[in-house]
Amino acid sequence: MILFGTSCADKSEKIQESEIRLITLDPGHFHSALIQKSMYPEIDSVVHVYAPYGDEVKAHLNLISSYNKRTVDPTRWNQKVYTGDDYLARMFQEKAGNVVVIAGNNKFKTNYIKASVDSGLNVLADKPMAIDNEGFNTLVQAFESAEKNKVLLYDIMTERYEINSILQKEFAHLPAFGELDKGSPENPSVTKISVHYFFKNVSGKPLVRPAWFFDVKQQGEGITDITTHLVDLVQWECFPDQILDYKKDIEIVSAKRWSTKLTAAQFEKVTLKKEFPEYLKADVKNGVLNPYSNGEINYRLKGIHAKVSVTWDFQAPEGTGDTHFSVLRGTKASVIIKQGKEQNFKPVLYIEPAAGTDMKAFESAIMDDLEQINDKYPGVELKKNSNGWEVIIPDKYKVGHEDHFAQVAKKYFQYLREGKLPAWEVPNMIAKYYTTTKAREVALAK
């Protein structure tokens, strides 16, 4: 039997970095392992894992083991594992750490979060932290409990660390952009479209997804899952450092959901399961699974019209992968991220002046803006094209998606040391999950 560490000391508002000790709870999603793809100076290398016994915790431990064994910059994690049926109660009894990492089955996630902060543990949770109205209400209570118990609850928003999104945000708040256009439902000021695939490689190996990933009662629908990232980016890029009030600032104009067809052979390829489990059979028609993986939300945020859309297919064409398209439209220019065939399926940022713009004056203005950009991000350049400018970004800023998890973790650990999150983070997390869960309710009502 594996022995566990002693209980953590009484909690204070601030945690020294050397006092941060991680707990992993029921890791059913590979994102839990990606938090440990890197080491963090002075953070305890011992991580306690509490989970039900099965393939999911095995897959998690195998990923951690692969990081420890790699030849380049290997990690040194020491996993202490408990897989009894009473894993949750045991975690609270032992309190072998003070930060719980939660990434797994979304049916249980919100209650895991609430129970953890109720017990005085900090939580770093994968998205989505809520997948329906009931979950949203529980999440609001969890944030109230976290404040009462002086612990920090935070979700893993990796897309804030993608350099094209960062520079899209930066350019949209400089003079050449003008003001953010109000837009309309037919022509939103902000559009974000994301395309994802069920079968992909993670850390160089084919990803095996649990069968419950395709059950909307456990994973959640597409409209409340990946859209979390897109709604977060809309808030973060358009209204940086501003506190949003979900009761006043958000109005769902329309929302819709639709399914992706998945054959039995495709299901087996991505899950290694030869049959659809009983809980999925209600969504199986003529031998084809139809999970509601896709969603679109058209809404107003502080009077600005925005649209976010997520679609899933089985496997990307050779040489491609997940893609992202994003537009922020200002009164003087638009800042656009494209990631199609023309861009070799890599994200590229463009700046396009509005119709009727005095090009000479605009070019002078955008070059002035570039100087401000270079104060923060030296080496960024602009290359003129037929529609405006392409933003040329040095490779040193292009960090891969998997490495964004370490960036999120480092930021969260900084907040733990400071003893607080920025004032806008909690209300804006609540606003984000209100948007997704309310949109689901609207879509279901159709």
Say whether pLDDT at 355 is over 60: yes
One-letter amino acid identity for 419?
G
The whole-number average pLDDT for the span 68-81 is 97
Q: What pTM, to 2 d.p., does this model score?
A: 0.92
The whole-number average pLDDT for the span 1-8 is 33
Higher pLDDT, 323 or 202: 323
Give CA torsion, residues 164, 128, 238, 386, to 10 deg. Answer: 30
Write the pLDDT tens digit of every residue in 236-275: 999 999 999 999 999 999 999 999 999 999 999 999 999 9
pLDDT at 13: 56
**Cβ–Cβ < 8 Å for 210, 51:** no
Instruction: Reply yes or no: is the peptide bond before residue 185 cis, omega within 30 of 0.
Output: no
pLDDT at 281: 93
Higher pLDDT, 204 or 153: 153
Higher pLDDT, 446 or 224: 224
Provide the pLDDT confidence category of residue 11 given band limits of 50, 70 and 90. very low
Write the pLDDT tens digit of every residue in 375-401: 999 999 999 999 999 999 999 999 988
By percentage, how much of the chain surpasses pLDDT 70? Answer: 96
pLDDT at 194: 93
Hey, do 17-155 and 160-399 end up sharing a CATH topology, with the first three levels equal? Answer: no
The whole-number average pLDDT for the span 300-309 is 98
Higher pLDDT, 18 or 315: 315
Domain boundaries, the chain: 17-155, 160-399
CA distances 31 to 83, 156, 203, Å, are: 19, 9, 11
The whole-number average pLDDT for the span 340-346 is 86
CATH fold, domain 160-399, is Dihydrodipicolinate Reductase; domain 2 (3.30.360)
Distance CA 297, CA 310 (A): 9
- Give the CA angle between residues 317, 310, 428 to the nearest 5°: 140
Show the tokens assigned to 414: 């900084």
pLDDT at 80: 97
pLDDT at 258: 96
Provide the mean pLDDT of the chain: 93
> Which CATH superfamily, name and number, covers 17-155?
NAD(P)-binding Rossmann-like Domain (3.40.50.720)
pLDDT at 9: 32
Say whether pLDDT at 10 is over 50: no
